[in-house]
Structure 1
């Protein structure tokens, strides 16, 4: 029997696929080019809802175009705002969330996610997550500011009450540069 070791994106999608079902609600805290938003929309189906955040107009436009091409825009609300402000837009509980930390691929590498706003958003997301729901963070730290954000996120999740949350850190140890790592926070029942 062969065992697959998934890259960061594949592993994050596996966790989301195992958690979400049609009709669920999900959050993409960092829309980027829209690939995770599209993936979430496919998982929750027409009866579900996806909330997708990004501060960059380019990311919002890229996500809208991708969703329109795939005919998935009906069950997605794209919000041009910081993920740190997600509680201004979401009131309902969600079943899963994903964060891709770093910068917009193909965009301005000076515009990055930052430790302060990410931890603020993470705290708010943890409060919104349903029992047995999951928050997945794909952390890219190979850019200025990336180490600070990674360290702040890891400290926050390491301090979560183990009776309420299971926390996983998935990373390759022998990759060049700082390889991306996946942190998953599963809310226990």
Structure 2
């Protein structure tokens, strides 16, 4: 197949923006898959900051990192607080919106904190850097976050960022989609 599925497409986007030695953010560490992938991209000279509010996500991420723990800082806190921990310029950030698979489905990402986190990442993002969001919206509250997110992103000036929505439109049951935000210049 020539059209990449959602999760492989996320990796393609991240690979195109992240180099060894970079600083990056996993805003929703979850089970640590993206944190590990980012750690492998930045290498031992880079830094990954991974955030999650749930202790089980933090533990799963640390366990998954294994030998890559040296280049990752795993933080049990909300992604809206990214700028309290990260001060370096970042080349990329990744978000998986929704709930932690296999955990309490009532603990979900929320529109206000997600938008605050994206705004913080945009401030830290280098020109040419990318923020990639996987929007899972088939759960209770997911449609509210999806709509608020898309409304917010449509207000961003196109001279500042390019925003792409990548989705399969003929799939059933609220398939996730990708939003990619590429920073074109610093907002003055």
Does residue 101 of structure 1 match 2:93?
Answer: no
How far 1:153 moved relative to its partner? 1.0
TM (norm. structure 1) is 0.96
TM (norm. structure 2) is 0.97
Alignment of 1:49-68 (within 5 A): 49-68=47-66
Does residue 89 of structure 1 match 2:89?
Answer: no
Deviations 1:147-178 (A, max 9, x none): 01111111111111101111100000011111
Alignment of 1:103-182 (within 5 A): 103-182=99-178
List alignment gaps of at least 5 residues for structure 1. Answer: none
Q: 1:9 aligns with which of 7, 27, 38?
A: 7
How far 1:18 moved relative to its partner? 0.8
CA–CA separation in structure 2 for the residues paired with 1:186 and 1:157: 12
CA–CA separation in structure 2 for the residues paired with 1:114 and 1:4: 33
Displaced runs of 4 or more, over 2 A: none
Q: 2:27 aligns with which of 23, 26, 29?
A: 29
3-state SS, counterpart of residue 80 of structure 2: helix
3-state SS, counterpart of residue 173 of structure 2: coil
CA–CA separation in structure 1 for the residues paired with 2:56 and 2:168: 31
List alignment gaps of at least 5 residues for structure 2. Answer: none
RMSD value, Cα: 0.8
CA–CA separation in structure 2 for the residues paired with 1:132 and 1:12: 16
Deviations 1:131-150 (A, max 9, x none): 10000000000001100111
CA–CA separation in structure 2 for the residues paired with 1:92 and 1:83: 16
